[in-house]
């Protein structure tokens, strides 16, 4: 059985470097967990990441076993904001950041399947203390502007500045919702200069 890679099939996961694009993102369901603080040093961030992946893989294997549907585990994603958004877009004061980490799961994943996955993962040794804080929820973003950033996360600010203060207003759009990042690269294996990240901003 060949695994279906949804990020290659869904338009919402397509982006090119140097190109801003308006995308209508359909409602999708995610494994989600909330937190705050510097992603490079906050223990809550590491706990969140290590809670999401075991659940995502448990759901993948349960879907293949019980439903005959096999899908590639989707990339890590994050919704980011701060009480003062300048601390995110220009000053990059990471200690002030608020975030929701997510992994998209297909529509065939039901609340019952999710609850069974949480129960199964919770029984394993060395389980993340954050597993019980993960929820299954739907995100409805609708119309968004997105582009592809290649490079270190710390180098995103100029691109965000261009998106927020040039492209969006010049096209008669208004920002709403939270800044969204989709991490197409494996941060553990790819050097910072080659990281590929979709930057997305909901608009109206």
Give the whole-angstrom CA distance, residue 151 versus residue 75. Answer: 17
Secondary structure letter of residue 135 according to DSSP: E
Residues 6+ apart with CB under 8 A from 130: 33, 44, 47, 48, 50, 51
**Cβ count within 10 A of residue 35:** 21
Nearest to 138 by CA among 6, 28, 12, 59: 28
Helix or strand (DSSP H, E) at 25: strand 21-25
Residue-wise pLDDT for 29-80, tens only, equals 999 999 998 888 889 999 999 999 999 999 999 999 999 999 999 999 999 9
Question: What's the whole-number average pLDDT of the chain?
Answer: 93
Q: What is the pLDDT along the chain (204 residues), one digit of tens a residue?
A: 679 999 999 999 999 999 999 999 999 999 999 999 888 888 999 999 999 999 999 999 999 999 999 999 999 999 998 877 666 665 567 777 899 999 999 999 999 999 999 999 999 999 999 999 999 999 999 999 999 999 999 899 899 999 999 999 999 999 999 999 999 998 888 999 999 999 999 999
The CATH class that applies to domain 6-202 reads: alpha beta
pLDDT of residue 94: 79
Distance CA 62, CA 116 (A): 9
């Amino acid at each position: 059985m060949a695994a279906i890679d949804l990020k290659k099939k869904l338009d919402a996961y397509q982006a090119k470097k140097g190109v801003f694009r308006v995308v209508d993102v359909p409602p999708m369901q995610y494994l989600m967990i909330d937190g705050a603080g510097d992603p490079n040093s906050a223990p809550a961030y590491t706990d969140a990441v290590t809670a999401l992946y075991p659940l995502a893989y448990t759901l993948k294997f349960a879907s293949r076993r019980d439903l005959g549907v096999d899908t590639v585990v989707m990339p890590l994603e994050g919704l980011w904001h701060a009480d003062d958004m300048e601390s995110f877009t220009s000053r990059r004061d990471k200690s002030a950041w608020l975030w929701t980490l997510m992994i998209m799961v297909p529509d065939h994943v039901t609340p019952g399947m999710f609850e069974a996955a949480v129960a199964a993962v919770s029984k394993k040794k060395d389980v993340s203390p954050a597993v019980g804080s993960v929820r299954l929820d739907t995100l409805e973003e609708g119309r968004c502007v997105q582009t592809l950033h290649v490079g270190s996360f710390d180098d995103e600010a100029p691109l965000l500045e261009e998106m927020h203060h040039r492209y969006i207003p010049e096209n008669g759009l208004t920002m709403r919702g939270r800044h969204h990042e989709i991490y197409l690269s494996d941060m553990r294996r790819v050097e910072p200069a080659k990281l590929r990240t979709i930057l997305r901003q909901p608009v109206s």
